Amino acid sequence: MIELYVLLAAMIVAALVAIEIKDLLAAAVALGIVGFSVAIMFILLQAPDLAIVQVVVETLTVVFFAAVILRTTNSDTTIAGRFRHELIFPTVMYVTFGLVFLVLVGRALAGLPEFGNPTMLVAREYIALGLERTGAANVVAAVILDFRGYDTLGEATVLFTAVIGVLTLMRRAGRRELTSENRN
Partner 1 sequence: MIPYFACILLVLIGLYAVVTKRNIVRIIIGFSLVEYAINLFFALVGFKREGIPPIITELGQSRSNFVDPLPQALVLTAIVIGLATTALMLALAMRIYEKYRTFDITEIRRLRG
The answer to whether residue 135 forms part of the interface with partner 1 (CB under 8 A) is no
CA–CA dist 148, 19 (Å, integer) = 36
**Per CB under 8 A, does 166 bind partner 1?**
yes
In this structure, are residues 23 and 65 in contact, taking their beta carbons and an 8 Å threshold?
A: no
For the segment 3-62, give every residue that binds partner 1 (CB under 8 A). Answer: 4-5, 8-9, 11-12, 15-16, 18-19, 24, 27-28, 31, 34-35, 38, 41-42, 45-50, 53-54, 57, 60-61
Contact predicate 22/56, CB 8 Å: no
**Dihedral sign from CA coordinates of 12, 14, 15, 19:** positive
Q: How far is the CB of 81 from partner 1 (least distance, A)?
A: 14
Question: By CB neighbour count within 10 A (0-12 exposed, 13-18 middle, 19+ buried), where does 46 fall?
Answer: exposed
Tell the smallest beta-carbon distance from residue 27 to partner 1 (Å). 6
What is the 8-class DSSP label of residue 75? B
Contacts with partner 1 in 70-129 (CB under 8 A)?
A: 71-73, 76-79, 86-87, 90-91, 93-94, 97-98, 101-102, 105, 109, 112, 114-118, 120, 122-123, 126-128
